[in-house]
Structure 1
């Protein structure tokens, strides 16, 4: 994939190539029209720029841009469906199965289920395989009628390829939130591409430092390391391993010169004995690295580095802060534990729940004093994460289950049996955090803050590692208003090495998460909710869609699921993504229409059952999407909605009842020192910060823009 394609997809800005000027107006308008069919368009400024360029240059650029946005919306593949006239012409499930069995009818021609013994649907010649071509399916449908509610995403004018790459490089480097895997891969590409450009002043996320340190290391430039773990991450990066240190890295052999450089960096950091407390957290990795570095050969030259490896092997004991805290709490010394934690401000904030549960009223002041003393040394991301945690610990839950999620998006649910936290203490802790966040936002927002009212309920990206790649992807817990008469969600996948069968299903729940029916390959219809048909082989790609007319749904919650029935996992398939569309009934059109796609996200989790999003109806009858981005283990194969509905309901309740910090919270904090107003297209002067789904046209050129594509930029350092 070209760098231009990556930049367009990530920023919605088009890098302008160098080339001769000319009359490219006709080609530019043709490109704009082609983009409109996919739900995109050129900004006025970009259209004027392209119109003044050579037609050949515009054509070459247009091919890249159109290909980039088609992939964003999922339109780069052919979305065929099993039932050619879907959502019309879908039979009752039993009737359909009998039709398939008709291919194996007995001599008298009478077909009933009792005519056969045990059967495998996949073995039937007409089951699970397209019975018509993609173009035959297209011919069976009328064209989509354009509507004002169709999605239109504007592409804006960028600078040169080098300028746009450097701009995104600095943006990703300054992210206060760790990057998801796909962004980290892009960041690595940009770090090499921009090695000779101006480098970022600060790099808050440790994983990002490892990426940049690898480039600095190759160019013999000073490294950005201040903990022993920074050096370990760099070693992983040099070996092409996991800089998050979540999976084991097989360390490669390095040249003698590189080994000495790495040991010298480690020796400098480890000169501070307090840094050695972090070694045991990754002891096995350190032991493996010691062999690759031949550390014993350099023990005399780098004695501090040598001690890191002796601590990792257990030959030298350095008590970690966590061990010292355990010892203090073990004897009921809460103030003592707090004093130890003050040496590690981030750990203190993350340990507040545990410390507060162990504290009596006489220790509350010690906790509050410590928080006030260290809050200015803790990243805003950690402060916000702690605040979100605290407000959920004092809310009335009425038996709400506790949902755990790991860094791969895998979820599991347990009963919440923790002791409650004192409301007064939580209130004062939240006030201390709010005060600190408000002060930091003064440097994060500029002038008047304009916001899109539809963006207020988007959750803050406090952990970006599980965010999937796609279009319109928002953090877990985000609430997004659903418009239109019909909601359609879809999956597309293509197998890699062996036959792979994913099943798109939906579980319906009434109030209180009582089961209210489902739609799947075993139940193709539920009222007017219709399944497009089961596809069981995806060697050339496969699509399944479920149509949900809003007015016909008597359930409160609609929970799509993507289940691995057979074959390759989501991370091993050649391609797998989920998305949803909305349209009015009168629009008709194909089962899949790119300009009606509101969101599309890759399926990349390590579980076998995916829960991308939950749709819910509020008390006023409006429909909302609440994003989950969750996976559960499921069975090794043969997963069905009938097996997962109980777990799904418990999981959904845990997410629905949880309160997430959102954009509205930060705008409220910013409003204490800045003018804040909703954006309705009004004229504005002076410095402006815009926060919304997309950058609107007509804003001052110097406007600082925060959209779904760079939402993490809203979080201060």
Structure 2
């Protein structure tokens, strides 16, 4: 157990008491097996299961300032060191050999002369140097040799390149991440708890959550009693049903559940995609599997029972996909049994219904409603069914300026109304010149909003609550398997402030109403204590999570965080492994821009050092053969970069030879907080650094100091994961990709597009322009708690807000959100404030939403959201539920009918 705890500490993790007791109760063999598996999973999570060796082994000190000069020296040495050449020192021939690693040809006499001071000393071999360049096999300036440990000094000359390597002080140790014991008495119980949580989510699952769902489904009880009556997320619903249909033991029972769980035609299509091994998001079509006859009949029966107009309209949205689905469903084989389903496929296929064989289908189509009509080009010609879609009718009304008619139509589908609110208000202002809202909208809006999901609701609120100007840049994130952002100039007239304010008031009222419903008030009113971090305002509410990168820390796209090293250095890393038989050249690069987004420089394989080593690249690998792969690093000094005129540093990963990331065996990148060691692995105090290589681990990659690690995935070739603001010392998590074509990708080639995209994203995610985790957490806390503590961003003060006996939830929430009218203010050091809040949380806490789980509290019951784990995790009882940002969003889902 002691050895396991030491190994975990070396990876930045610690066992909580319940988990330690459970492991200690295992027999020695069981403990060893569990320990090996646990360490292996942590290593994979942190990227520490790979060998991370930079090209210049003494990185960062041994990286040359002028890479081209070093390359020229190597080429010259190669040309001069052919076997027929004489000794490069004295000119004699014979008794010639090539020295490693410089490859200079010298005779034994000249080599012996360099070590004649103490030729019999035990380490005399260290004293021999090449008489041509002065290098020996232990030169840290050589990219193919590792440096030997030397006595540490505050600053010392780096051998082989004549520069001075300044050793920085180590920062504070990274906090240990507590490991908790899972719920339940065994793996099956634990899987059931995780499964229940995932199925209850009301927002699309992230890549990590989808992987968890696939992992726990095989451990679920073969009986289907655990399957809830409602699975809110349709993609999750399709994935679960497909998994049950593929299992022989559960397939018959699962078929009987399909009518209850599939209520749209698109749900059927998602199920077909998932059943065939694809993703139910319908973005990347798989090769559809043939279906058993029983399943075909069940699915056609579901389609036949749905409203015919909505079925045909849903199918037309994805015409090509449904044409492929018809090849495995064979709808006309059962046209007599399921006529409305057959007509819907006829609409999609444009089937000619003339002729005696299809006469009965004409009768079925004629009775499907006014929006379904039969179209014939000429008398006696082909007769084909067609449908007037909801979207086309809406666009017709908006194009004619009939906002009253468009409002009436959109109120039939509240989700579409909220998605089009911004455009509806714009069109109304453009056609009428007034600053009010379309007639009837404000009266009908509160009732309509009760049926809208949290995503569209929060999106519309975030868009309308901030005034905009004509001509400003807008950024769009098209739905897809990878995150692509497109910016454009928006020259349309903005929404009038009065109209936006009126609609925002209705949206905010609905948000507060939902918060009160989910706040869990007792019969006597709100009770208990909530603890919040004001820094949650920097975390954007998650959106487009289907395309989010799988990351160590689930930072929502668009969020801002302080740089991990503060004013100290920052290390970026990239590791990849190419598939056998295919060379893949990825490049880790940094593009630098000034405050006006003018390109000022770069640090990549073409320029290893920038601005007096304010940015240093570890060297360019052009391939990454398995099993080792390849690793590249870039060290950044924010203070030096800012003094060099750079305001923004854009991290970029490029596929130089145009191989998409999803074809790689393994690829990930991230951020490390360096430990302040020099190239020899020693710190400023002369001691060997804890991050120095041990057991095959690179000294440049200390898993305990990994602050973020994310996978490179999808059919993308250029990834832009973050933008560093060197003046504000913050990092904007962008998690997006740049669409490119051709090969030979590098920063300089794409510098203009990279700068424009980064500038657009920086403006798009300006604080206050989107709904944040703070907006959600503060409303939930105010609605369900008697008092709320809010810790300031600097951690040195905390304000307490007590809800008055007659104070409305709206007023209390406004006080907490806007930071006025607090009942108590405590100040002190960050440690003192954390201790005080820990006491409040442990005594009567019911809800906490924090950026860092750094409160040293023992907390038995409640709900917790924290971005980064910390000491609080070690003190959580079994009845404390950990929440993700998506869970907070799900609290604002509409109530079930």
Q: Does the pair score TM above 0.5?
A: yes
Question: What per-residue deviation string (whole Å, max 9, x for no partner) do you get for residues 121-172 of structure 1?
Answer: xxx999xxx9547xx4696898999853414211112132222222221222
In structure 2, the residue matched to 1:200 is: 228
| Counterpart check, 1:298 vs 2:334 | yes
| Counterpart check, 1:433 vs 2:459 | no
2:386 aligned to which of 313, 317, 322: 317
In structure 2, the residue matched to 1:213 is: 241
TM-score (normalizing by structure 1): 0.87
In structure 1, the residue matched to 2:636 is: 548
Distance 2:293 2:405 in 1: 46
Question: What per-residue deviation string (whole Å, max 9, x for no partner) do you get for residues 313-361 of structure 1?
Answer: 2332222210111221232211111111111111111111221121133
Any idea what SS the aligned residue of 2:546 has? coil
| Counterpart check, 1:508 vs 2:620 | no
Change (3 A) 1:671 1:275: same
In structure 2, the residue matched to 1:56 is: 29
Change (3 A) 1:140 1:423: farther
More helix by share: 1
Alpha-carbon distance, 1:635 to partner: 3.4
Alpha-carbon distance, 1:204 to partner: 1.8
CA contact (8 A) 1:401 1:653 kept: no
Any idea what SS the aligned residue of 2:279 has? coil
Alignment of 1:376-387 (within 5 A): 376-387=450-461
In structure 2, the residue matched to 1:496 is: 579
- Shifted more, 461-470 versus 671-680: the winner is 671-680
CA contact (8 A) 1:175 1:712 kept: yes
**How many residues matched?**
667
Distance 1:258 1:572 in 2: 34
In structure 1, the residue matched to 2:180 is: 156
Alpha-carbon distance, 1:493 to partner: 0.5
Distance 1:211 1:331 in 2: 42
CA contact (8 A) 2:170 2:675 kept: no
Alignment of 1:251-650 (within 5 A): 251-270=288-307, 273-314=309-350, 315-359=384-428, 360=432, 361=434, 363-391=437-465, 394-395=467-468, 399-400=472-473, 402-407=475-480, 408-445=482-519, 447-484=528-565, 485-497=568-580, 498-526=582-610, 527-528=612-613, 529-539=615-625, 540-554=628-642, 555-566=646-657, 568-583=659-674, 585=676, 589=691, 590-618=699-727, 622-650=728-756
In structure 2, the residue matched to 1:690 is: 848
In structure 2, the residue matched to 1:16 is: none
Change (3 A) 1:397 1:657: farther
Alpha-carbon distance, 1:399 to partner: 4.2
TM-score (normalizing by structure 2): 0.70
Question: What per-residue deviation string (whole Å, max 9, x for no partner) do you get for residues 477-525 of structure 1?
Answer: 0111124311011110000131111111101112121222111111111
Question: What per-residue deviation string (whole Å, max 9, x for no partner) do you get for residues 595-619 of structure 1?
Answer: 111000001142221101111134x
Any idea what SS the aligned residue of 1:471 has? coil
Cα RMSD after superposing both structures: 2.9
Change (3 A) 1:439 1:137: farther
Any idea what SS the aligned residue of 2:557 has? coil
Any idea what SS the aligned residue of 2:29 has? helix
CA contact (8 A) 2:572 2:635 kept: yes
Distance 1:145 1:168 in 2: 43
Any idea what SS the aligned residue of 1:657 has? helix
Distance 1:49 1:137 in 2: 44
Alpha-carbon distance, 1:450 to partner: 2.0
CA contact (8 A) 2:648 2:724 kept: yes
CA contact (8 A) 2:426 2:493 kept: yes
Gaps of 5+ in 2: 89-101, 105-141, 153-166, 246-250, 351-383, 521-527, 678-682, 684-688, 692-698, 792-833, 868-882
Change (3 A) 1:480 1:301: same
Distance 2:288 2:148 in 1: 52
Distance 2:492 2:41 in 1: 48
Alpha-carbon distance, 1:265 to partner: 1.8
Distance 1:411 1:147 in 2: 36
In structure 2, the residue matched to 1:121 is: none
Question: What per-residue deviation string (whole Å, max 9, x for no partner) do you get for residues 28-50 of structure 1?
Answer: x3212111111111123322332
- Shifted more, 516-525 versus 237-246: the winner is 237-246
Alpha-carbon distance, 1:77 to partner: 0.3
In structure 1, the residue matched to 2:209 is: 183
Change (3 A) 1:59 1:690: farther
Change (3 A) 1:321 1:401: closer
Change (3 A) 1:169 1:375: same
Any idea what SS the aligned residue of 1:364 has? coil
Distance 1:55 1:396 in 2: 68
Question: What per-residue deviation string (whole Å, max 9, x for no partner) do you get for residues 232-257 of structure 1?
Answer: 11122222233111222332211211
In structure 1, the residue matched to 2:886 is: 712
CA contact (8 A) 2:532 2:778 kept: no
Any idea what SS the aligned residue of 2:463 has? helix
Distance 2:662 2:151 in 1: 34
Alignment of 1:30-69 (within 5 A): 30-69=3-42
Distance 2:491 2:315 in 1: 32
Change (3 A) 1:327 1:368: same
Change (3 A) 1:310 1:330: same
Alpha-carbon distance, 1:693 to partner: 4.5
Question: What per-residue deviation string (whole Å, max 9, x for no partner) do you get for residues 627-649 of structure 1?
Answer: 01111122321101111111111
Question: What per-residue deviation string (whole Å, max 9, x for no partner) do you get for residues 547-579 of structure 1?
Answer: 012321212211111111126321111111110
Gaps of 5+ in 1: 1-26, 112-123
CA contact (8 A) 1:410 1:633 kept: yes
CA contact (8 A) 1:410 1:607 kept: no
Question: What per-residue deviation string (whole Å, max 9, x for no partner) do you get for residues 687-717 of structure 1?
Answer: 5122234656634332212234722111122
Any idea what SS the aligned residue of 2:306 has? helix
Question: What per-residue deviation string (whole Å, max 9, x for no partner) do you get for residues 616-674 of structure 1?
Answer: 134xxx41111011111223211011111111111111111123322112123234423
Distance 1:650 1:37 in 2: 41
Distance 2:50 2:515 in 1: 43
Distance 1:580 1:613 in 2: 10
Alignment of 1:663-674 (within 5 A): 663-673=773-783, 674=785
CA contact (8 A) 1:454 1:481 kept: no
CA contact (8 A) 2:782 2:788 kept: no
Distance 1:712 1:188 in 2: 19
Distance 1:676 1:462 in 2: 27
CA contact (8 A) 1:488 1:581 kept: yes
Change (3 A) 1:323 1:146: same
- Shifted more, 187-196 versus 207-216: the winner is 187-196
